[in-house]
């Protein structure tokens, strides 16, 4: 089949590579316009564009895929099928009609759960034990089309969004090719999504990374894993004197309760617990969180031991929910 691939982020890269390695013909690649810049102010290509450039592919980056000019580009490619993955814009019914078989979308969740832009982040944030990939036949809704195929995987207890995205991307690229094969054989059995089981995975905002120490240690640990690499989880360190210091928590884990005082959650959340060398533990609303790596504003990432020595942390220190 003549394939037009629409994708932008890293999740779509293994799929694009598999399409190039398959018997199908990738006649064009569409990716969202680049906006990210490196430290030198140079605009960086999207992960999909960087991979497509290796194939000397026809790559297009229209601001809006649903315009007359974009439709002309797509029509000229004479596609049999659109493959959409981590693209960043909804395709209108008019756009989908330009391919003989419409469009297949690879989505990183077990639909109808976690429809939206950030399914991997929110699955980890909410402490899900498993997730997966879903291939749908695209329609006018957001991740709402009939389910054509699904695959499931467990979420590791220490996996971050980056880790899980990499695994799901590799798995999903195989699932799409299997679905395309079944499509050509006419053996697909579409399943309508159960709207009653639908949950949302909205686009992340910076405020989603702010730590609330009244939540449990498990919930905060999940948040830290979920908000990697962006927006990252942050808090404010308050010493006995001086202004609160913004801190990014890079890595943390739930610490087993070691003493009767730690079993008593009546101590205020955010209180620093120091009872042994190199251990930076914090009282939460339920349980204790061990901070393993953290980054003070304007500084490099530090280990807990380095932070304890450099900032003279003591039992009167605390982490706060805000800078106020």
Kindly report the pTM of this predicted structure: 0.94
Q: What residues does CATH 3.40.50.170 cover in the chain?
A: 2-197
Residue where the block lists tokens 């690649």: 29
Q: What residues does CATH 3.10.25.10 cover in the chain?
A: 206-320
The fold adopted by the segment(s) 206-320 is 3.10.25
Angle between helices 13-21 and 161-185 (to 10 degrees): 40
Tokens found for residue 278: 């190199």
- Kind of pairing between the strands at 25-30 and 59-60: parallel
Return per-residue pLDDT of the chain as tens, 324 residues. 999 999 999 999 999 999 999 999 999 999 999 887 777 778 899 999 999 999 988 999 999 999 999 999 999 999 999 999 999 999 999 999 999 999 999 999 999 999 999 999 999 999 999 999 999 999 999 999 999 999 999 999 999 999 999 999 999 999 999 999 999 999 999 999 999 999 999 999 999 999 999 999 999 999 999 999 999 999 999 987 678 999 999 999 999 876 545 555 556 899 998 766 678 999 999 999 999 999 999 999 999 999 999 998 887 789 998 876
What are the two backbone dihedrals, phi and then psi, of residue 107, each rounded to the nearest 5 degrees?
-120, 135
Supply the pLDDT for residue 240.
72
Is residue 70 within 8 A of residue 4, CB to CB? The reply is no
- 6 pairs with which residues across the strands? 30, 84
Supply the pLDDT for residue 242.
74
Select from 46, 139, 58, 27 the least CA-distant residue to 91: 139
Rounded distance, CA 134 to CA 178, Å? Answer: 12
Sequence-distant contacts of 69-74: CB under 8 A, at least 24 apart: 70/95, 71/95, 71/98, 73/28, 74/4, 74/28, 74/30, 74/98, 74/99
> Which CATH homologous superfamily contains domain 2-197?
Formyl transferase, N-terminal domain (3.40.50.170)
- Supply the DSSP symbol for 196: G
Is residue 151 within 8 A of residue 171, CB to CB? The reply is yes
Rounded distance, CA 247 to CA 260, Å? Answer: 29
Supply the pLDDT for residue 315.
74
Is residue 178 within 8 A of residue 104, CB to CB? The reply is no
Rounded distance, CA 94 to CA 104, Å? Answer: 15
Q: Which residues of 270-293 are buried (b: 16+ CB within 10 A; e: fewer)?
A: bbbbeeeeebbbbbbbebbbbbbb
């Amino acid at each position: 089949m003549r394939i037009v691939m629409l994708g932008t982020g890293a999740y779509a890269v293994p799929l694009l590579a598999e399409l190039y390695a398959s018997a199908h013909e990738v006649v064009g690649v569409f990716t969202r316009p680049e906006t990210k810049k490196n430290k030198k102010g140079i605009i960086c290509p999207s992960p999909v564009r960087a991979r497509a450039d290796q194939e000397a592919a026809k790559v297009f980056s229209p601001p809006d895929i649903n315009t007359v000019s974009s439709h002309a580009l797509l029509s000229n490619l004479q596609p049999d099928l659109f493959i959409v993955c981590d693209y960043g814009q909804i395709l209108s019914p008019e756009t989908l009609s330009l391919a003989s078989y419409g469009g297949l979308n690879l989505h990183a969740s077990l639909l109808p759960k976690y429809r939206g832009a950030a399914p991997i982040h929110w699955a980890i944030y909410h402490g899900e034990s498993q997730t997966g990939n879903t291939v749908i036949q695209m329609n006018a809704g957001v991740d709402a089309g009939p389910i054509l195929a699904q695959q499931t995987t467990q979420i590791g207890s220490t996996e971050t969004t980056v880790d899980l995205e990499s695994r799901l991307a590799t798995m999903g690229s195989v699932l799409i090719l299997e679905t395309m094969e079944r499509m050509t054989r006419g053996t697909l059995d579409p399943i309508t999504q159960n709207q009653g089981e639908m949950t949302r995975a909205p686009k992340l905002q910076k405020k989603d990374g702010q730590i609330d120490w009244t939540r449990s240690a498990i919930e905060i640990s999940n948040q830290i894993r979920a908000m990697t690499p962006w927006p990252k989880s942050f808090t404010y360190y308050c010493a006995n004197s001086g202004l609160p210091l913004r801190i990014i928590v890079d890595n943390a884990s739930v610490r087993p309760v070691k003493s009767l005082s730690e079993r008593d959650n009546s101590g205020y959340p955010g209180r620093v617990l120091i009872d042994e060398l190199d251990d930076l533990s914090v009282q939460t609303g339920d349980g204790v969180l061990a901070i393993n790596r953290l980054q003070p504003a304007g500084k490099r990432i530090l280990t807990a031991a380095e932070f304890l020595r450099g900032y003279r942390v003591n039992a009167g220190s605390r982490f706060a929910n805000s800078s106020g």
